Structure 1
Amino acid sequence: MKRTTEIPKIPEQKKEVRSSGIIMKAKATAQFDRAVEKYETHFRFRSIYPWLKQCKYHDFVNYFDNIDNGSIFILKVIHETIPDLNQNAKDIFCNNPKKTPLYHSHKVDNEHLDIVKNVAKTLNPDITFDDSLEWWEIGGKQGYRIFGVYSQVEPAFYPLFADWHHLIYPDTEHNYKDYLKYSCSLENG
Structure 2
Amino acid sequence: MEINNTTHPRNTVINNVDVKSHSKTIIDFSKYPNWTHSTRIGNFTNQLKNEKECAKNYYILVSKLFPFLQNQGGDLFTGINHCHLLNDSDDKKYRTQAINIIENIHNVKFDKSLELWQLSYGQGIRLVGAMVKGGDNNNQTIIYPLFIDHHHLIYPDKNHNQKDLSKKACKFCPQDKYH
| Fold conserved between structures, TM > 0.5 | yes
Number of aligned residue pairs = 145
> Which structure is higher in RCO with an 8 Å CA cutoff and minimum separation 6?
2
**Aligned twin of 2:65:** 81
Matches within 5 A, 1:166-177: 166-177=152-163
Runs of 4+ aligned structure 1 residues displaced above 4 Å come to none
- 1:186 deviates by 2.0
Residues 25, 72 of structure 2: 8 Å contact kept: no
Q: Could you tell me whether the CA contact under 8 Å between 1:39 and 1:90 is conserved in 2?
A: no
Cα–Cα, structure 1 residues 96 and 109, in superposed 2: closer, same or farther, change >3 Å?
closer
* Equivalent residues in 2 for 1:115-154, closer than 5 Å: 115-129=97-111, 131=113, 133-154=114-135
5 Å-filtered alignment, 1:60-71, equals 60-71=44-55
Q: Greater share of strand residues, 1 or 2?
A: 1
In the aligned structure 2, how far is the partner of 1:142 from the partner of 1:156? 22
Q: TM-score normalised to the size of structure 1?
A: 0.70
Pick one of 21, 24, 28 that aligns with 1:46: 28
Structure 1 vs Structure 2 CA RMSD? 2.0
Distance 1:53 1:124 in 2: 9
Structure 2 unaligned segments of length 5 or more: list them: 1-19, 136-140
Which one-letter code corresponds to 2:171 in the other structure?
A: S
Q: TM-score by structure 2 length? A: 0.73
Letter in 2 for 1:174: H
Tell me the SS of whatever aligns to 2:76.
Answer: helix
Q: Is 1:160 matched up with 2:146?
A: yes
Question: Which whole-Å CA distance do the structure 2 matches of 1:42 and 1:87 have between them?
Answer: 7
